[in-house]
């Protein structure tokens, strides 16, 4: 099959967006095609004054008040319609700057439309709760209820590995709840965010309610932490950076989706015809650059050999290379340095006695999908987040042993369990310390309506429009005493 050719129609504005205007600056940074390494754009980075102006504009907008909930919902639904209309532009941008294969880029658009429509629905359903005063002696005649109000300026700092849908999981609920948003996308993937901003403005989001500040975390991100008019920080990224943001935020509220080492447990009796394709997809999708990608695969010993054999067979059928080729299933990592780092981890694992059953071959930023066994506890591929297309299989004899292993990392974002034994499933639900425990699914299954977030060093707070909107609002109690 021929490669798909993308033309420059997908290129977006290359400045910073403040109050509806795209603004340039003398400081520029290059956006590279993640497969070819060629420069596809030069983007203007925000300076300190631009950051202050963006936050000030956003604060003034939210102080004046957002459009009514119904109008916010209309704008978000229209953005979903426009996203579908401009699908080819978004797919082209993500294939180039994120290295997504075409199917992953289209999946990102599909999910983003769902996120917009869910947020639009919740914009008109944001309510508080009644207070049962009858529970207090002598207060039975009182009436009490809570109401939710916008928290203010929401600062969204987003990653490269989901440059559209993760951005919308922050921007859309924030605006649906009546907040203004200052967005700092990853410097690896600024063009998708710029395209999204164009769509949101065309859909009717008031210009003062959305700013896009391009640049690096060490500069633009640091300056945003210094802006005291930011009321809420929502961040997806490393635990190291999450700690910095939390320390700077002080008493201001935050939502953090941080690091992960995701585990999936496979018990004997599992329908492997169903489970193995799910595991392969969850391990290798987006070149393993998903925070919930299967990295540790615990398999009951009596089926461990069969699972390894089947997973290797699946991995061998996933062509790695040019993401524009329709036959490609594994595209490049975000940088060649990331691929070199993963390759070195695999080399070290071999030196420590691990066996690489397949894959691990690197060509520039592309790494073929790898399956390992006999990985020692101290191996980087086992005890550090890989963010690469690789998984390590470890047999277990006792289910409690597998649970303890999955729980042994500092992280707790998501875990998967395949079992037909209801007692094992219930034990997993009670014992696995993760934000999400997926039964007869992998760690990486996600629906955009569900609450999503972690525990331990994986952070706190929830995404998912209904849940995020409650994070991004202030709840006030109103009482009447007749």
Residues 321 and 319: their CA atoms lie apart, in Å, by: 7
Name residue 83's beta-bridge partners: none
Residues 166 and 147: their CA atoms lie apart, in Å, by: 27
Whether 211 contacts 181, CB under 8 Å: yes
Structure tokens at 168: 């919308």
User: What DSSP character marks residue 4?
Assistant: P
The one catalytic residue among 78, 122, 198, 257: 257
Residues 337 and 359: their CA atoms lie apart, in Å, by: 18
Our answer to whether residue 257 is catalytic in this structure is yes
Our answer to whether residue 291 is catalytic in this structure is yes
Query: Residue 309 contacts by C-beta under 8 Å, 6 or more apart in sequence?
Result: none
3-class secondary structure per residue, 45-64: CCCHHHHHHHHHHHHHHHHH
Residues 290 and 387: their CA atoms lie apart, in Å, by: 7
Whether 286 contacts 108, CB under 8 Å: no
Count other C-beta atoms under 10 Å from residue 408's C-beta.
Answer: 12
The one catalytic residue among 16, 267, 291, 314: 291
Count other C-beta atoms under 10 Å from residue 234's C-beta.
Answer: 28
Mapped onto helix, strand or coil, the DSSP state of residue 344 is: helix
Residues 89 and 299: their CA atoms lie apart, in Å, by: 42
Give the residue numbers annotated as catalytic, written as ranges: 257, 291
């Amino acid at each position: 099959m021929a490669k798909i050719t993308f033309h420059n129609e997908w290129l977006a504005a290359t400045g910073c967006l403040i109050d509806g205007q795209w603004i340039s600056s003398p400081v520029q940074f290059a956006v590279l095609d993640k497969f070819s390494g060629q420069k596809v754009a030069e983007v203007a980075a925000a300076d300190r004054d631009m950051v202050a102006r963006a936050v000030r504009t956003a604060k003034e907008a939210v102080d004046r008040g957002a459009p009514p909930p119904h109008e916010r919902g209309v704008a978000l639904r229209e953005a979903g319609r426009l996203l579908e209309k401009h699908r080819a532009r978004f797919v082209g941008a993500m294939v180039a700057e994120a290295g997504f294969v075409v199917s992953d880029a289209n999946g990102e658009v599909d999910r983003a439309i769902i996120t917009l429509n869910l947020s639009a629905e919740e914009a008109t359903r944001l309510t508080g709760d009644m207070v049962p005063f009858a529970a207090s002696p002598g207060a039975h005649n009182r009436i009490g209820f809570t109401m939710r109000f916008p928290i203010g300026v929401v600062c969204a700092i987003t990653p490269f590995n989901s440059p559209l849908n993760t951005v919308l999981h922050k921007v859309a609920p924030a605006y649906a709840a009546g907040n203004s948003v200052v967005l700092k996308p990853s410097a690896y993937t600024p063009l998708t965010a710029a395209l999204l901003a164009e769509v949101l403005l065309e859909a009717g989001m008031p210009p003062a309610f959305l700013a896009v500040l391009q640049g690096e975390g060490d500069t633009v991100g640091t300056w945003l932490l210094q802006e005291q008019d930011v009321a809420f920080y929502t961040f997806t990224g490393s635990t190291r950076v999450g700690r910095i943001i939390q320390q700077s935020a002080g008493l201001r509220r935050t939502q953090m989706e941080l690091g992960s080492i995701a585990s999936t447990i496979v018990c004997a009796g599992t329908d492997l015809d169903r489970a193995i394709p799910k595991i392969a997809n969850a391990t290798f999708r987006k070149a393993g650059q998903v925070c919930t990608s299967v990295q540790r695969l615990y398999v009951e010993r009596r089926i461990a050999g069969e699972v390894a054999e089947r997973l290797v067979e699946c991995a061998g059928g996933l062509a790695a290379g040019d993401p524009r080729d329709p036959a490609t299933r594994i595209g490049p990592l975000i940088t060649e340095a990331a691929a070199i780092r993963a390759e070195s981890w695999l080399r070290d694992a071999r030196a420590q006695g691990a066996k690489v059953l397949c894959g691990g071959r690197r060509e520039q930023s592309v790494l073929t999908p790898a399956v390992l066994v006999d990985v020692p506890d101290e191996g980087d591929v086992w005890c550090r987040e890989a963010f690469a297309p690789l998984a390590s299989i470890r047999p277990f004899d006792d289910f409690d042993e597998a649970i303890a292993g999955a729980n042994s990392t500092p992280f707790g974002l998501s875990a998967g369990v395949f079992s037909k034994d209801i007692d094992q499933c219930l034990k997993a639900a009670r014992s696995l310390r993760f934000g999400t425990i997926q039964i007869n699914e992998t760690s990486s299954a996600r629906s955009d309506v569900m609450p999503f977030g972690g525990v331990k060093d994986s952070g706190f707070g929830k995404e998912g429009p209904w849940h995020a909107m409650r994070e991004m609002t202030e709840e006030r109690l109103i009482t009447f005493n007749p």
